[in-house]
Amino acid sequence: MHFITNKHKHFFIVKAQLNLGLLTDCVVHESLSDMYLYMCEKESLDLEQVEGLEYAVTMKHGLWAAVDDRGFVEVINGCVYDYISDFEL
């Protein structure tokens, strides 16, 4: 499992193997708690304001998908590395 924050301050749990060297302008964290603390420090937020807001990225049946904090699933079209690196709302 990988814990990643991108340049737009969105954060992800990736539940599949990745070549982390193919990510651009991302921070890879050792653990979920490290990622939460990083976001709290960068954004001056309390832990309760970031817990559970990450996107879960996984591969199922050969397709990459992202699940947001509300449980909505989005199939990732294109390169998963670009999706994670460049994702913004």
pLDDT digits (tens, 9 = 90+) for 1-15: 999 999 999 999 999
Task: Look up residue 35 and give its two tokens.
Answer: 């990622």
Query: What number is the average pLDDT over the span 9-34?
Result: 96
* pLDDT(89) > 90: no
22: CB partners within 8 A, 6+ apart: 81
The burial of 28, by beta-carbon neighbours within 10 Å (0-12 exposed, 13-18 middle, 19 or more buried), is given as middle
Number of neighbours of residue 79 by Cβ within 10 angstroms: 12
- Given a contact cutoff of 8 angstroms between Cβ atoms, the answer to whether 85 and 6 are in contact is yes
Which residue matches tokens 């998908």?
Answer: 65
pLDDT of residue 60: 84
Nearest residue to 38 (alpha-carbon basis) of 69, 9, 8: 9
- Given a contact cutoff of 8 angstroms between Cβ atoms, the answer to whether 80 and 12 are in contact is no
